[in-house]
Amino acid sequence: MNPPLVSLIIPTLNSVDHIGKCIQSIKKQSYQPIEIIVVDNNSRDNTKQIAQQYTDKVFNHGPERSAQRNYGARKADGDYVFFIDSDMVLSSNVVKASVGKFQSDKKIKGCIIPEQSYGTGFWAQCKILERSYYISVDWMEAARIFDRKTFEKLAGYVETNTGTEDYDLPQRIQACYGYDSIDRINELIYHDEGKMSLFKTCRKKFYYAQDLSAYKKYEANRDHYQKQASIIQRYKLFLSRPRILFEKPVIGFGMLLMKACEFGSGGMGYLLSKVKR
């Protein structure tokens, strides 16, 4: 029997600094067969031209990431659909380990791949510290690779969700198939935070929070939403390992400040969306 095909789907927007490294990490996977699908959203740089050097499946679709992902899935031929962002790099055994999970247990419908951040500058170091707390925390990790039949049965990502779609789909799968329908591997995805600024990360939270109403209206999301949207829950998580938090106290305090600013910006974005409606 031939091994199952895995479709790697990458939504892009002005991703010229990242897309080459992302696709190269896919090309270096220890597992085959793989197909690479890039769905661009009207980039103004050379993202599409770089992607076309690696794959002939480069498309243009929008308006946002969820719509791009669903479009890529419709163009996919794989038994499994794997969604990554253009600023991510896969360790070499990610696909092999993920397929192994699906093949070993047919009740598994989606698989979590833990993320480790890297980047330059003070705020990137704060983000690296923050993400280190989320590994194996079920309300902060989300599956990225899915059994295609399951993905199609649940109609993929909700296209009105932007920023929360990573959580929404796996949680709807668990509501339908049970908590143990989502599993995880230990291989890593490396997430390039680049040179972060406090303003940029707060602006992103402000933008994404305007779609929170679409996310929290689903019953499957409410339990995790109450934790994800609570700054108290997040600080309790950080303070559960104080040695790590204050091993580098300047970075630790910077991370706590960054999260407070992000929550404040997100709150303003959410309130703005309420006013608009």
Closest CA to 111 of 168, 215, 184: 184
Closest CA to 132 of 93, 188, 201: 188
State how far the Cα of 258 lies from the Cα of 252, in Å rounded to an integer: 10
For residue 211, the model assigns a pLDDT of: 82
For residue 160, the model assigns a pLDDT of: 83
Overall residue count recorded for the chain in this entry: 277
For residue 218, the model assigns a pLDDT of: 82
Domain 6-276: which CATH class? alpha beta
Q: Is the pTM of this model over 0.75?
A: yes
For residue 212, the model assigns a pLDDT of: 86
For residue 78, the model assigns a pLDDT of: 98
pLDDT profile of the chain (277 residues), mean per 10: 95 97 98 98 96 97 95 98 98 98 97 96 97 96 97 94 90 96 97 94 93 84 92 96 94 97 95 83
State how far the Cα of 248 lies from the Cα of 253, in Å rounded to an integer: 9
State how far the Cα of 13 lies from the Cα of 24, in Å rounded to an integer: 18
> In sequence order, which ranges of 75-162 are alpha helices (DSSP H)?
94-104, 122-132, 148-153
The residues, any chain, with a CB within 8 Å of residue 123's CB and separated by 6 or more, are 196, 197, 198, 201, 254, 258
State how far the Cα of 78 lies from the Cα of 86, in Å rounded to an integer: 20
The two structure tokens encoding residue 82: 């794997």
State how far the Cα of 125 lies from the Cα of 248, in Å rounded to an integer: 10
State how far the Cα of 216 lies from the Cα of 212, in Å rounded to an integer: 6
Distances in Å between the alpha carbon of 25 and those of 30, 71, 168, 178, 222? 10, 23, 27, 32, 35
For residue 172, the model assigns a pLDDT of: 95
For the chain, the structural domain boundaries read 6-276
Burial (Cβ within 10 Å: 0-12, 13-18, ≥19) of residue 219: exposed
